[in-house]
Amino acid sequence: MRPKSLVGLVVAVILVMAKIMWADADTSKTRTVVIGFTASQTGKLNVEGTRQINGLNLWIEQVNAAGGIKLPDGTVIKVAAKFYDDESSKSRVQELYTKLINQDRADFLISPYSSGLADAAAVIAQQYNRIMITAGAASDSTHKKGYTVVYQTYTPASRYLTGAVDLLAGLDPKAQKIAIVYEKDKFCTDVVNSLTSYAKQQGLQVVLFEGYDSGTTDFAPFINKIPAKVDAVMGGGHFADTSTLARQLYEKKVNTKMIALLVAPPEDQFAELGDAALGVIGPSQWEPLVAYTPEAANSLNIAWIGPKAGDFIARYRSKYKEEPTYHSAGGYVAGLLLEKAINQSGSTATAKVKEVLDHLDIMSFYGRLRFDQTPAGHGLQVGHDMVYIQWQQDAQGKLVKQLVWPEAVKTAAAQPIKAR
Amino acid sequence: MQFLASLIDGLLLGFVYGLAAMGLTLIWGVMSVINLAHGAVMALGMFGTYLMFTYLGVNPYLALLGVAGLGLLLGFLMYTVAVHRIINAPHLSSLLATFAVNLIIVGVGTAVFTTSPHNVDFSMGSLSLGRIILPPTRLLAALAAVGFTAALYLFLCFTRPGKAIRAVANNRTAAELMGIPSAQVLALSFGLGTMLAMVAGGLIATFFPFTILSGGPYELKSFVICVLGGLGQPLGALVGGLILGGLEGLIPIFMPVSWVPVVEFGLFVLVLLIRPNGLLGAK
Amino acid sequence: MGMGRRTGFWLPVVIIFFWGLAVLVLQDDTLREKVFTLFMFVGLASSLNLLLGYSGYISFGHIVFFGLGGYSGFYLISQHHWSIYPAMLAGGVLSATLAGLLGLAVLRLRGAYFALATIGINEAARALVGNFGPFGGATGLYVNFATYQQYGGAGKALWLTFILLWLTILIILTVSFMIKDSRFGLGLMAIREDEDAALVMGVGAARLKTLAYMFSAFFPGIIGTLYFFKNGNVEPGDAFQLQMSIEMLVMVMLGGQGTVLGPLLGAVTYQGLRGYLLTSPIFKNLHLAMAGLILLLIILFVPTGGIGWLRERLPRLRKVLE
């Protein structure tokens, strides 16, 4: 071996050793946790899925820009994201989450968008004992299967439309009959089943209860079955079908006092329906109009975390050039929750973080968050409440979104639907 | 009241179903090929109307003529590229070849249009007949479907190419012996079949939202209709369409709407078993 | 069974045997998930081949047996707390029974009519299950997580499912070869070539076809139960995807219908191709269109599939490739 190459070798060895030692020194102070998730970048859920990921990415960017999560023992935790496209398909989700856990060594998981996909991912999370925060998944049933490490950020489906029944009573105390037309999938079925039992409890009569297949475009058979003089039409499903339902209800001149539909009404795009959107009410997990404040948290005697609503909206808007929706807020809050739990437990170990999450009771711009601790419904969201929006006309006759329920946050009084 | 409203809604839609199925049945009748790209072609018709309406401002009913022309060309192309080579091979080949075309159309369509729903934003308000309320677009669609059916019949009965198609459908070998260029006739029939599918798609686009995948359910309905009316019989398809539309209107009166497909497809299998030549077909 | 034919039998079985064994030895969970999906399609394609390849009957809605068998097996596990072993057999037996009953009726139809009927059966079954109370209707069924405890925890249960699937595939390949090598198989192939001639020659076509249909339905029922057990839940939309039926057909065609090795080769190639197209930046958005183009080229220019093509080109390999 020539001297020149010997020198080179020595230098290389020193460099490698230095790198190892430096890295060692580094890990004692700064560590990186990997957050794994799949995103529906293609397929039928891509719009909502992308917004959720935008929210989550905004949180990651902010947390790292602020220097990471600082633990009491001085360790700094940086956050790295690892994700794949799940094509909105269940069979891909399980394969990818297994990969995230085993190959990419994800420490924590965030669920994909939609109850169906989150449900498939939850099985894997539980099998490998990784904490998973579900975002964009409202189904109650995921939390009735004995999972212990899955936590929900959305108000569960069972409380999606029950507020609409109270709202109806406020609108017309004599209201009696409601018709329910809903998409036959897991989420909507959970919603309308609890809606029905709550409505009956309140002395209402469910005069029509019909489910339609996902992807339905012709609602005439359902609308023809709605008896005359119903006081409210409730139900719907996801964006596309619910918009179509709203439009066809208008074209068929269905006269009723209230129309409360799932998912679509809070979207700004819904206003494109014009007159068919006027008066339609919809539940939302969160709206930019909703103002939860640190003061509100104080009065409830619980901790406040994260930015104020105004900050979140401004940052989101400047990064993505669009208004945040509740999907975006859900993604962001999933990150916030992890940050809080890691910080408070001073650890990234599943058992310790889980211990904190189990007993967490906090408020952020998104509202209050608390989880069911009982084995029968572990991880179910019990702190957060829905808000209801209604499309109303302003003085110029333009369609505007108003918050109409609950009383504490409303920006306008609910109005009955005009005769069609 | 509900009875009448439901039945009218169903029958009006039935005309459009019938028109779509006619495209499928024509191709089957002439060359014994089941076109599994039928649904994708219908979706292309929807997008054709959408693009012409949204970007060129063409009235959707006028746009149908453009869509029809494109359909004819697309049919020629599909026949030449994918079907001609295997026209005499076993059924599996043509089923899979047309399915491959279906994949190509859906794949390119997904890349271009994504799978979010599109809408032809063309509302004509609501039409009230007594207490029955109809969107006029459905009425016009039914009329257009009848118009196209009539035109097809005139073409098949009174023009030379039309007569040639009937001759080839009847007996290809004999027709060839009589000097009819069968390859051209087959291409023309395939063109007409896809044309009808695209026009039906264009009509549907005037009242329902759609994605590139929306053709699928109508393709399945077209199968049911073809079997009800007898595979290979254009007029049977129209009648089959009306039967199916009527059923879709009437079944919900007696049971939950979600049972409609159970009855539809159950009936379909039953008819296949008992009268494979269709309810109207010769035994 | 001559020396060459023996190799033809051993080749696919040995491939799957060592493949599964390698996964078991490596104990890599990610690899297991990948291979599970792959094996599942190998099993489904090989099952379909028993009908399509040997008798020439095109079942376009074959996934119905995966769905219904899987649903029944899963129902027994989730509602009646059966263990996976009897439940998967029950799923298979139920599928086969159903195929027997349906077969008596629809197998009288030929060619495209039969293909259409199978699509109808799939759609009717999907709609029916969506309205069927005991199967949970539209929301489907699920198992409580505690169920996996009886297999030593979820991790063990996943490995168990993999091993069961692996064994099932080995059995399918064996049966596939045994049928091909028997009088039964000969009868089926006579039907494929010319059913009327076969009838004249005294082949009991109705009985043979129905039997082949039952065999080709039995295994998807087992695979379905295993798949849903692994998922922990089942919904109508997942169980009866017409798309999957067609993917099965494509795999059989790709590898070569009527051969034992073909469906295996087809499934592996198709899945590999799909994975490549999905991750390639150029084809990501066009992967469906590319899959279509490849399928079209195969049908137009290599109608006998990969194995068939090899057998035509390299006559010496005929003895080895079955």
Mean pLDDT, all residues of chain B: 90
Q: What angle do CA A215, C91, C171 make, to 5 degrees?
A: 115
Touching subunits of C (3+ CB pairs, under 8 Å) are A, B
Provide the pLDDT for residue C84: 95
| Cβ–Cβ gap C106/B32 under 8 Å | no
A-chain residues within 8 Å CB-CB of B9?
Answer: 220-221, 224
Minimal C-alpha gap between C278 and chain A (Å) = 9
Q: Which domain holds residue A336?
A: 27-155+289-377
Average pLDDT over residues C218-237: 92
| Cβ–Cβ gap B273/C115 under 8 Å | no
For chain B, say whether C108 makes contact (Cβ under 8 Å). Answer: yes
- For an interface test with B, give the residue of C106, C274, C296, C302 to mutate (most B CBs within 10 A): C296
For chain A, say whether B122 makes contact (Cβ under 8 Å). Answer: no
Query: A 192-231 residues with CB below 8 A of B?
Result: 210-213, 215, 217-218, 220-222, 224-225
Average pLDDT over residues C201-226: 94
End-to-end CA distance of chain A: 94
Give the whole-angstrom CA distance, residue B9 versus residue B247: 11
Q: Where are the domains of chain C?
A: 3-241
| Max Cα distance, chain A (Å) | 99
| Cβ–Cβ gap C145/A90 under 8 Å | no
Average pLDDT over residues B112-132: 80
What's the residue count for chain B?
A: 283
- Residues above pLDDT 70, as percent of chain A: 93
Is there a domain that residue B110 lies in? yes
Give the whole-angstrom CA distance, residue C43 versus residue C58: 17
Pick from B38, B25, B75, B10: nearest CA to B234? B25
Six-digit token pair at A118?
């989150």
For chain B, say whether A189 makes contact (Cβ under 8 Å). Answer: no
| Cβ–Cβ gap A190/C139 under 8 Å | yes
Contacts of A19 (CB under 8 A, 6+ apart): none
How do residues A183-235 score in pLDDT, each as one tens digit? 988 889 989 999 999 999 999 999 999 999 888 899 999 999 999 889 999 99
Residues A43 and A137 in one domain: yes
| Cβ–Cβ gap A186/C138 under 8 Å | yes
Residues A366 and A391 in one domain: no
Provide the pLDDT for residue A25: 47
How do residues C122-141 score in pLDDT, each as one tens digit? 888 988 998 888 998 888 89
How do residues A314-329 score in pLDDT, each as one tens digit? 999 999 999 898 899 9
Banded model confidence at residue C146, pLDDT cuts 50, 70, 90: confident
Residues A342 and A294 in one domain: yes
**Backbone phi, then psi, for B163, in 5-degree steps?**
-65, -35
**In the A/B pair of chains, how many CB contacts fall below 8 A?**
62
Residues A163 and A151 in one domain: no
| Cβ–Cβ gap A224/B208 under 8 Å | no
> For residue A140, what is the DSSP state?
S
**C-alpha C278 chain-centroid distance:** 23
| Cβ–Cβ gap A224/B252 under 8 Å | yes
Mean pLDDT, all residues of chain A: 89
Average pLDDT over residues C196-223: 93
C-chain residues within 8 Å CB-CB of B268?
Answer: 117, 120, 124
From the list A87, A145, A184, which residue is nearest C145 (CB)? Answer: A145
Is there a domain that residue A311 lies in? yes
- Asked if pLDDT for residue C1 goes beyond 60, the answer is no
Is there a domain that residue A80 lies in? yes
Residues A307 and A320 in one domain: yes
Banded model confidence at residue A11, pLDDT cuts 50, 70, 90: low
C-chain residues within 8 Å CB-CB of A106?
Answer: none
How do residues A143-165 score in pLDDT, each as one tens digit? 988 899 999 999 999 999 999 99
Is there a domain that residue B260 lies in? no
Query: B 15-54 residues with CB below 8 A of C?
Result: 28, 32, 34
For chain A, say whether B170 makes contact (Cβ under 8 Å). Answer: no
> Among all residues of chain C, which has the CA nearest to that of B100?
C292
Name the E strands within chain C: 141-142, 233-234
Q: Exposed, middle or buried by CB within 10 Å (0-12, 13-18, 19+), for A329?
A: buried
For chain C, say whether B262 makes contact (Cβ under 8 Å). Answer: yes
Pick from B234, B224, B227: nearest CA to B30? B234
- For an interface test with B, give the residue of A45, A89, A217, A224 to mutate (most B CBs within 10 A): A224
How do residues A345-403 score in pLDDT, each as one tens digit? 999 999 999 999 999 999 999 999 999 999 889 999 999 989 999 999 998 989 999 99
| Cβ–Cβ gap B101/C105 under 8 Å | no
Touching subunits of B (3+ CB pairs, under 8 Å) are A, C
C-chain residues within 8 Å CB-CB of A86?
Answer: none
CA-to-CA dists, residue A381 to A38, C63, C143, angstroms: 22, 37, 21
Is there a domain that residue A229 lies in? yes
Banded model confidence at residue C308, pLDDT cuts 50, 70, 90: confident
Average pLDDT over residues A283-311: 90
| Cβ–Cβ gap A94/C231 under 8 Å | yes
**Sign of the four-CA dihedral C99, C105, C109, C114:** negative
How do residues B197-237 score in pLDDT, each as one tens digit? 999 999 999 999 999 989 989 999 999 999 888 877 888 89
- For an interface test with A, give the residue of C26, C27, C28, C30 to mutate (most A CBs within 10 A): C30
Six-digit token pair at C243?
């798309």
How do residues B56-103 score in pLDDT, each as one tens digit? 999 999 999 999 999 999 999 999 999 999 998 888 788 889 989 998
Is there a domain that residue B269 lies in? no
Banded model confidence at residue C119, pLDDT cuts 50, 70, 90: confident
How do residues A220-233 score in pLDDT, each as one tens digit? 999 999 998 899 99
Residues A53 and A185 in one domain: no
> Among all residues of chain B, which has the CA nearest to that of C106?
B273
Provide the pLDDT for residue A18: 55
Mean pLDDT, all residues of chain C: 89
- For an interface test with A, give the residue of C28, C33, C147 to mutate (most A CBs within 10 A): C33
Six-digit token pair at B261?
């497909």
Provide the pLDDT for residue A258: 95
Q: Exposed, middle or buried by CB within 10 Å (0-12, 13-18, 19+), for C143?
A: buried
Is there a domain that residue B74 lies in? yes
**In the A/C pair of chains, how many CB contacts fall below 8 A?**
72
Give the whole-angstrom CA distance, residue C112 versus residue C108: 12
Residues A265 and A360 in one domain: no
From the list B97, B231, B258, which residue is nearest C299 (CB)? Answer: B97
Residues A325 and A259 in one domain: no
Neighbour-count burial for B151-169, b at 16+ CB within 10 Å, e otherwise? ebeeebeeeeebebbebbb
Residues A148 and A52 in one domain: yes
- Asked if pLDDT for residue B20 goes beyond 80, the answer is yes
For chain C, say whether B270 makes contact (Cβ under 8 Å). Answer: no
Give the whole-angstrom CA distance, residue A191 versus residue B69: 47
Contacts of A93 (CB under 8 A, 6+ apart): A38, A86, A112, A117, A120, A121
CA-to-CA dists, residue A80 to A65, A71, A120, A354, B37, angstroms: 12, 17, 23, 20, 44
| Cβ–Cβ gap B100/C293 under 8 Å | yes
- Asked if pLDDT for residue C263 goes beyond 90, the answer is yes
- The answer to whether B49 and B63 are in contact (CB under 8 A) is yes
C-chain residues within 8 Å CB-CB of B103?
Answer: 288-289, 291-292, 295
More confident of the two residues A78 and C279: A78
Helix (H, G, I), strand (E, B) or coil at C253: helix
Banded model confidence at residue C95, pLDDT cuts 50, 70, 90: very high
- The answer to whether B43 and B217 are in contact (CB under 8 A) is no
Residues A166 and A38 in one domain: no
- The answer to whether C42 and C264 are in contact (CB under 8 A) is yes
Minimal C-alpha gap between B59 and chain C (Å) = 31
Average pLDDT over residues B157-186: 91
Percentages helix, strand, coil for chain C (3-state, rounded to 5) are 80, 0, 15
Provide the pLDDT for residue A265: 92
- Asked if pLDDT for residue B272 goes beyond 60, the answer is yes
A-chain residues within 8 Å CB-CB of B252?
Answer: 221-222, 224-225
- Asked if pLDDT for residue C280 goes beyond 80, the answer is no
> Among all residues of chain B, which has the CA nearest to that of C107?
B273
* Total number of domains constituting chain A: 2
| Cβ–Cβ gap C30/A116 under 8 Å | no
From the list A44, A218, A224, which residue is nearest B115 (CB)? Answer: A44
Pick from C220, C233, C225, C219: nearest CA to C85? C225
Average pLDDT over residues A245-255: 92
- The neighbouring-strand residues paired with A132 are A109, A150
- For an interface test with A, give the residue of C233, C274, C284, C285 to mutate (most A CBs within 10 A): C233
* ipTM score assigned to the predicted complex: 0.87
Contacts of A402 (CB under 8 A, 6+ apart): A289, A389, A390, A391, A392, A410, A411, A412
- Asked if pLDDT for residue C106 goes beyond 70, the answer is yes
- Asked if pLDDT for residue B283 goes beyond 70, the answer is no
Pick from C112, C116, B112: nearest CA to B104? B112
- The answer to whether A362 and A302 are in contact (CB under 8 A) is yes
- The answer to whether B35 and B27 are in contact (CB under 8 A) is yes
**Sign of the four-CA dihedral B257, B259, B262, B264:** negative
| Cβ–Cβ gap A253/B128 under 8 Å | yes
> For residue A111, what is the DSSP state?
P
Q: What is the CATH number of the domain that holds A401?
A: 3.40.50.2300
For chain C, say whether B91 makes contact (Cβ under 8 Å). Answer: yes
Is there a domain that residue A203 lies in? yes
Minimal C-alpha gap between A22 and chain C (Å) = 31
- What is the rounded radius of gyration, in angstroms, for the C-alpha atoms of chain C? 19
More confident of the two residues A90 and C198: C198
Is there a domain that residue B255 lies in? no
Is there a domain that residue B20 lies in? yes
- For an interface test with C, give the residue of B262, B267, B274 to mutate (most C CBs within 10 A): B262
From the list C109, C131, C253, which residue is nearest B258 (CB)? Answer: C131
Minimal C-alpha gap between A45 and chain C (Å) = 15
Neighbour-count burial for A206-242, b at 16+ CB within 10 Å, e otherwise? bbbbbbbbebbbbbbbbbbbbeeebbbbbbbbbbbbb
Provide the pLDDT for residue A152: 96
Cα atoms in the Cβ-side hemisphere of radius 13 Å centred on A380? 20
- Residues above pLDDT 90, as percent of chain C: 46
Q: What angle do CA B154, B155, B158 make, to 5 degrees?
A: 70
Minimal C-alpha gap between A52 and chain B (Å) = 17
A-chain residues within 8 Å CB-CB of B221?
Answer: none
Residues A75 and A124 in one domain: yes
